[in-house]
A = this chain, B = another copy of it.
Amino acid sequence: MPKTELSTLPLKTGSIYPAPHDAEMLGRSSLRVGDAGGLTQFGANIIILQPGAKSSLRHWHEEQDEFVVMISGECSLIDNAGETAMHAGECATFKAGEPNGHCFVNNSDAEARFVVIGSRTPTETAWYSDLDMKVCIDADGFEFTRKDGTPLKGEEK
């Protein structure tokens, strides 16, 4: 059955971010719709933000195109230019390699949902605009470091 039975998908919570940034992801959860349907060429996830929650740390991707479409509620898109309101049916595009770090914040008093699509590539580096941090991803997994590649220390470890 191609239609996704959303009620049967596990609600993914938590974060892969190193402390203390993992705590910033409270109120964010996701449904891995693409994986559930066996898609391998791109990720397709529903992101669910409770009031006050954010989608991610502000970041941009070196190699992977990213696309967002709002499906319910409203969010603020935060990027280098500031804040932009996003409502159901509206879209945003983030071309690979453009160093415009972005995230979505739910500043409303109701749940907000959007779909995020991201290409899958053998390797990827994502850069965090507001921190001295990047993440490198390959077939072996992922590693968060400072932007110069040295280990995270102190508060960011």
Contacts and interface: CB of A to CB of B under 8 A. Distances in A.
Contacts of A77: 2-3
A55 B118 CA distance: 24
10 contacts: A3-B91, A37-B67, A38-B93, A39-B67, A42-B117, A44-B69, A67-B117, A69-B115, A71-B71, A71-B89
Contacts of A81: 1
Q: Which of A40, A90, A117, A119 has the most CB of B within 10 A?
A: A117
Interface residues of A, number: 42
Interface of A: 1-4, 6, 33-34, 36-42, 44, 46, 64-65, 67, 69, 71-72, 77, 79, 81, 84, 86, 88-96, 100, 102, 113, 115, 117, 119
A109 to B, nearest CB: 19
Contacts of A6: 90-91
A22 to B, nearest CB: 25
Contacts of A64: 41
Contacts of A3: 77, 84, 86, 90-92
A30 to B, nearest CB: 13
Contacts of A92: 2-4, 37
A65 B93 contact: no
Given A2-B79, A3-B90, A6-B90, 17 more contacts: A2-B84, A2-B92, A2-B100, A2-B102, A33-B67, A34-B65, A37-B67, A38-B95, A40-B95, A41-B65, A42-B117, A42-B119, A44-B67, A44-B93, A72-B89, A89-B113, A117-B117
